[in-house]
Amino acid sequence: MNHINILMVDDHPIIIEGYQNVLMASKKEDQTLLIDTANNCDMAVTMIQRAAKSQPYDVCFFDISLPGSSDGKYTSGQDLALLARQVLPHAKIVILTMFNESFRIHNIIKEINPDGFLIKSDLTSIELTDAFQQILRFPPYYSSTVTNYLKKVVVSQINIDDINRKILHFLSQGVKTRSLGEYVGLSTSAIEKRKKQLKLLFSVTDGKDETLLKEARDKGFL
């Protein structure tokens, strides 16, 4: 049995209840979901720190707009996500928010690089189900508003950035990701980030490099 420890943080209990009901109703037969919930930053910080010492979370869902912590150190779900990145390095971080402005989306991706990014106005029960399963296996999963924004950004970068073309070229030549730095002069983490962006641009949903290369060839980039 696959036990999945989950933290859900949102200041509206009925929204958390909805998320829980969807995930519990749609989980796979071999999955057991253990869900903790928090309604503010203080509760969430306590749970994150406790999990880091005992049983780490596998997936953390953070709403952005939350009541801040009593010490003023944590003012939003964005701060909580950064904490989780530090003390729960293997946890999948999922952002759920009403914010859909380009600047806020860009800032969240730049600071957190979440494994899932869902705009609440895009969200349906089917999308939450699909997003959860994809985030477990082949992150990231970004909802349509985020994806459309990123496509515009990445397309403009591709037109002026030769490094992404080199990454595609050397991958197509059989060079492994861990060795790409020798050819393009970037760290492995920077290369992985660019590969994630490329997979979003080329609408690769299975997370595979082979699929990315096929789509790049089909669109004339190789």
In this structure, the strands spanning 2-9 and 141-142 are unpaired
Residue 151 lies in a domain: no
136: containing domain: 2-143
Domain count, the chain: 2
Q: Are residues 139 and 170 in the same domain?
A: no
- Round to whole Å and give the CA distance between 11 and 63: 8
Residue 166 lies in a domain: yes
Tell me if residue 60 falls in helix, strand or coil.
strand
Residue 77 lies in a domain: yes
Farthest-apart Cα atoms in the chain, separation: 54
Say whether pLDDT at 158 is over 70: no
CATH of the domain at 58: 3.40.50.2300
pLDDT tens digits, 2-39: 999 999 999 999 999 999 999 999 999 999 999 999 99
Nearest CA among 215, 109, 106, 197 for reference residue 157 = 197
pLDDT tens digits, 202-215: 888 898 999 999 98
Q: Are residues 128 and 201 in the same domain?
A: no
- Round to whole Å and give the CA distance between 166 and 175: 11
Burial class (CB in 10 A: 0-12, 13-18, 19+), 8: buried
Q: Are residues 114 and 197 in the same domain?
A: no
- pLDDT category of residue 108 using cuts at 50, 70 and 90: confident
Q: Are residues 123 and 178 in the same domain?
A: no
